[in-house]
Every structure is written in structure tokens, then in C-alpha cells.
Structure 1
Amino acid sequence: MATKAAARSLRQAGQEWLLSCTPHPTAALRAWDQEELLPIPTGAHWRAVEAHLLPSVHAMKRIGSERLGPVLVDVEADRAWWLLPPTLGDELDDVRPLLVRPVGWALGCPPVLYSVGGRGWLERPDGTGRLTDPVLLGAAFGPGGARTEAETHV
């Protein structure tokens, strides 16, 4: 039971963090209560990097769960959005499978606690504000992708 309670607490902390990224948390909760996605503009708290879903799943495995920030997916659209630091520069400009969304672009976010319309968090925000390192993401999507420690011993 303690494990379920801890997981629930972590999801709630992630939800509170996501709400802190919007200027109107009460309006956000109302939108989610109506099963709507909440458009959160990029820039102030994080940047969004878009990729196809399956390569993103493989990249998540390569990066490792202890180093992942939030990853939002839309299974119907075959898309994933990685949340990266707001200070993101040009580190990912040459990584062809990735589309870096500009500052101010709005990402339609469901709540952390459940999915909306096929969109949900594959890696949920954990409440700490941890985001994916762009260098790790670039390596995971780059030529051949970054290799996990297990793969280097093959």
C-alpha cells in the first residue's frame, strides 16, 4: 500500500508543478474537468521538442528513467513532446528527427493524473521541475542514437 500511496503523491506533485506553469491554475482545472487539453505556452518554464512516438519511446529507453524529464505523447497523432530547459539554445538544430518548437508555442496538455483524447504523459512530471537534458536527447536521436551501458557490453 505504501508504494501506491507514494506513486499517487508523486503524480499529485507533478500535477501541481504543471499547474504552476500556467498563469491561471483555476481555469486549467476547469478545462481538465471538461476533458479539454490545456494550452501551455513554452518559454517561461520549459521548451517543447517534438518527435514521432516510437523513436521517442526508444530514446526514452536509451536515456534512462532516472535522467528523463516529462514526455507527453499523443498516440492518435503519433507524436511525442519532450520538455527541455527554457534556456535551450541551438543544441538540437541539426538533429533531423526533432522539431524544436519556438518560445510562445502552446502545447496542449492533459492533466498529469489522466489522459485526454489520446494524449497523456508517458513520463509524468514529478513535481521537482526536472527536465530532459538536450545533450542527452540529441545523442539518443542522433546517428545511431546514444547507447545504454548494457548495449556497450554487447
Structure 2
Amino acid sequence: MALPTSPPEPARLAGDNWLANCAEWPDLVRQAWRVEALGTIVTGTRWLAAEAPLVVVLAAMKRIPHAELGPVLADPTVEKGWWLVPLDAADHLSDIRQLRVRPPGWPLRCPPTGWQLCGRFWLQPPDGSGLVTAPPLLGAALGPGGPRLPAEAFG
């Protein structure tokens, strides 16, 4: 049985619509969700999925400013999590050992934003805006000391 996990209704609907519309066949994703099954969204159309051990994901999320944190999916049953990242993220994150950027065409099986299904749930749900986590922020969050502002920020 699916368990609710919480965003407010308008944000949840916007996130679900955006997420389903990232799929080649949005209606199939919505149909899967209606019968409490995971929807499959293939990476490479609007974003890629960056995979890491769940403990790494949880620690790194604390180091990224909330306003800049894109969607993050978790599956404690396999101890993994996935950030949604831009299409060029693999170029920027290839040297991060604990992170694996999945290639275009990789199927990400995900629940709708307000539910836990088959052990998976959104730690940071999509909000419908299209925001994904920027590779420099993610890379810095996974490195020692957390994200750093560029030198230009200090004038």
C-alpha cells in the first residue's frame, strides 16, 4: 500500500505533472501511479539521474542550499538515492567517486511526489519548476567542507 509523504496539494500536483511530462509517454506514468505502481521515466530527455549510496545522499543534501536543491529520490531498500541533474552533468561530475551519473536512456522508476511506493519516495520532491541540482553544487557538497562560493562572490 502506498503511504503519503506530504507536499501541499498544489505543489504535489505541479511536481507530478512536471515529472510525468518528462516521460516519453506521460499517460502511462500517470496510469502506473493510479494503480500504486512506480512510473518509469527514461533519463536523457530533460535530465539525468546521479546515483549515490543513500547515506552519502543524506549528508550531501544538508550541504546544498534548500532553494537550489533539485529533486532527490530515495530507496532505502537498496540503500541508494538519485538527484535529478542537468543533461551535461556527467561532464562535470565524472571525478566524484561516490557518484554515478546514469547515461541517457536509463530508466528511473519513481513514485508520484506525495507517496512512497515500493520503498521509494522523494526526499526533495519535484515542484513543477523544472529545477534540477546544479553539478557544481552537488560536486562541492560531496567534497570536503561542503559547497563553496566562487571567488567573485566576495567582490
- Please report the TM-score for the alignment, with normalisation by the length of structure 1: 0.87
Structure 1's consecutive aligned runs of 4 or more residues displaced over 3 angstroms after TM superposition are none
Residue of structure 1 equivalent to 2:38: 37
Deviation of residue 148 (structure 1)? 7.9
In structure 1, runs of 5+ residues without a counterpart are 1-5, 150-154
Contact 2:140 2:148 (C-alpha < 8 Å) held by counterparts: no
Residue of structure 1 equivalent to 2:101: 100
- Superimposed CA distance per residue, residues 92-133 of structure 1 (whole angstroms, 9 cap, x where no aligned partner): 111000011011111111111211011010000010000000
Once the two structures are overlaid, the 10-residue window that deviates more, 18-27 or 40-49, is 18-27
Residue of structure 1 equivalent to 2:15: 14
CA–CA distance in structure 1, aligned partners of residues 131 and 14 of structure 2: 12
Residue of structure 2 equivalent to 1:3: none
What are the equivalent positions in structure 2 for 1:25-104 lying under 5 Å apart? 25-104=26-105
In structure 2, runs of 5+ residues without a counterpart are 1-6, 150-155
Deviation of residue 147 (structure 1)? 5.2
Is 1:126 aligned to 2:127, yes or no? yes
Residue of structure 2 equivalent to 1:146: 146
CA–CA distance in structure 1, aligned partners of residues 115 and 43 of structure 2: 21
CA–CA distance in structure 2, aligned partners of residues 145 and 46 of structure 1: 27
- Superimposed CA distance per residue, residues 49-103 of structure 1 (whole angstroms, 9 cap, x where no aligned partner): 0001121111111002111000000011110000001232411111000011011
Contact 1:13 1:126 (C-alpha < 8 Å) held by counterparts: yes
Query: Which residue identity does 1:16 align to in structure 2?
Result: N
- Superimposed CA distance per residue, residues 2-24 of structure 1 (whole angstroms, 9 cap, x where no aligned partner): xxxx9221111101100111122
SS at match of 2:52: strand
SS at match of 1:91: helix
Report how many residues are paired. 143
SS at match of 2:31: helix
- Please report the TM-score for the alignment, with normalisation by the length of structure 2: 0.86
Q: CA RMSD in A?
A: 1.7
